[in-house]
Amino acid sequence: MTLPPLTIKQTFLTRAAARIGISIIPTWRLEDLPMAEHLRRIFDHHQVDVAIDVGANRGVYRDLLRYNLGFKGKIISFEPIPSLARGLRMRAASDPNWIIVEAALAETSGPKKFNVMKTDVFSSFLEPDHSHTSRFSGNAVSEQLTITAFRLDDFAATSAELATAKRVFLKLDTQGYDVQVLAGGAEVLQRVVAFQTEISFVPIYAGMPSFSETLAFAGRFGFAPSMFFPVCFKPDLAAIEMDCICVRKVEG
């Protein structure tokens, strides 16, 4: 996302509105505004120093952190699809605090089969399952790649950025594989102050965990739900998936 600079007129209107307690919000920010505002509270409260972006795709989440939150710290983005990783590296050339890793995170390190879907945002280690809803009936595998996968803990052992990080935020968007990523990061999770995961009420991949299994797994690592944001619905408006932000539990 390349944002146009504010014109003199826009800057004047924004400042004038602020003087009377009104905020002017650009149209491109409206859809993500509720989640961005909650994330801002978490980042400010915990003074997050590194954000890990798992399943970066084209870098939309990095844009959210930079432009909506104003986060200036290190962002480590994982993207296993070579063409998408190349695009990210080109974009990151102008952002020295954005590190691109052409790999996936999983429960074990090593080469692993990965399904690239016709619509690449749905790419996953898992196979699509259309038996519970027809909402994503067009989601199909276009090719299968052998990609590099790391356990989060194994990657952290070789990462200078994570070696010194004390307050980590972890974003997961792996299309049904988030729990396995968490399972491979028990040591790093001790320094994670909050994480974001997609929880599923209706499975759209074979073998993906239910929302209750994901939340129970998070609870075993000491995290509790902080906020839910809808991702998609069935035709009757029953939720299929939601983004769930979890924070580390503190007594009191």
Model confidence over 184-218: pLDDT tens digits?
A: 999 999 999 999 999 999 999 999 999 999 999 99
Q: Is 219 helix (H, G, I), strand (E, B) or coil?
A: helix
Domains of the chain: 30-248 (3.40.50.150)
Distance CA 244, CA 230 (A): 9
| Radius of gyration for the alpha carbons in the chain, expressed in angstroms and rounded | 19
Distance CA 238, CA 133 (A): 11
Are the C-beta atoms of 157 and 129 separated by less than 8 Å?
Answer: no
Give residue 4's pLDDT: 46
Q: Where are the alpha helices (DSSP H) in the chain?
A: 8-19, 27-30, 33-46, 60-63, 82-92, 152-156, 160-163, 178-183, 186-189, 211-220
Containing H/E element for 194? Answer: strand 192-200
Which stretches of the chain drop beneath a pLDDT of 50? 1-11, 14, 23-25, 27-28, 30
- pTM equals 0.87
Q: How many CB atoms lie within 10 A of CB 135?
A: 16
